[in-house]
Amino acid sequence: MDARRKNASAPPPAVDIENLQISGYLANLPARLYRPAGRRETLPAVLYLHGGGFVGGSLAEADASVRALVTLARVAVLSIDYSLAPRHPFPAAPEDAHAALRWLARYGAERRLDSGRLAVAGDDAGGNIAAAAALIARDRNGPALAAQVLIGPMLDPSMTLLGDAERLRSDLKPQTCAQRYAQYLPHSQERLHPYASPLTSRRLHELPPTYLATAKCDVLHCEAEHYASALIAAGVPTQITRFAVRHEELAQHPPLLAEVAEFLRQRLHPAHGAPLSSIASSHPQP
């Protein structure tokens, strides 16, 4: 039984949901805006980008993780169905993500969202797209982000830092990664673009404080931990934790969700915790 089926038996956290259509890169995007149930005050907002290897995934698959973060972190979350490959290859997905951030900045006040407290988050391929959206927001002068959260992200299309799948007993195989990247990045030169390959970006300064989670039993954990090291070297406040789970279990892993929620509370509710200038580099869990 996989993690999603295990969690299906638990009652979902109480949230209010508004179904939306927002402007994307190529067309309107289905979206859901989540808020803690009954909360009417202005809240920070997080853009969440689902996993699925650039070719799959949906609002429904991200629902459990999003509900948990909304409840635990006391934030609103906008979850979007971004453009998928192979029909819509790079750069459609990161451009959709940046369009969603612009939507939050422009229209958030109408829905009691604080455009001065925005964050971006994603898991698996959504982690790649979230990292790209943060780079785009920096390069295009906004919207300003207070945090980014990358959960088991796919960050390196060259696949030079993949772990040993057999030794790690990884549920995600190198062949699967290669197939997904081939569909997302059909032109080889795109694999070097920083918005497609955040790990190879040489300009990581001025990115928002970052939380990065990896799974011990996952071929992706090496590249994600290298990215965390590069962010820290660039002066970006960064927290990195490795959890003793498989790739498919990570995004709904309760200890992960609790740690992400605490990070978001610290960054989006500054009075709650640590100063925004601090650098927290946690030791990976065994």
Residues 6+ apart with CB under 8 A from 126: 48, 49, 50, 51, 52, 57, 62, 151, 153
Whether residue 76 contacts residue 43, with contact meaning beta carbons closer than 8 Å, is answered with: yes
Which has more confidence, 192 or 4?
192
Structure confidence by residue, pLDDT tens digits, 55-88: 999 999 999 999 999 999 999 999 999 999 999 9
Catalogue the E-assigned strands of the chain: 15-23, 28-36, 43-49, 76-80, 113-123, 147-151, 210-217, 238-246
Q: What is the DSSP letter of 220?
A: T
Using only C-alpha atoms, the chain has a radius of gyration, in whole angstroms, of 17
Higher pLDDT, 136 or 9: 136
- Per residue in 185-242, pLDDT (tens digit) is 999 999 999 999 999 999 999 999 999 999 987 788 889 999 999 999 999 999 999 9
CATH number where 17 lies: 3.40.50.1820
Burial of 133 (0-12, 13-18, 19+ CB in 10 A): buried
Residue 88 CB partners (closer than 8 Å, separation 6+)? 26
Would 9 be classed as within a structural domain?
yes
* pTM for this model (two decimals): 0.91
Domain that holds residue 23: 3-272
Q: Please give the single-letter amino acid code of residue 90.
A: F
Within-domain flag for 13: yes
Residue 278 lies in a domain: no
User: Residue 281 falls within a domain, yes or no?
Assistant: no
Residue 286 within a domain: no
Mean pLDDT of 239-253: 94
Whether 25 is in a domain gets the answer: yes
Q: How many domains does the chain have?
A: 1
Instruction: Establish if 285 belongs to a structural domain.
Output: no
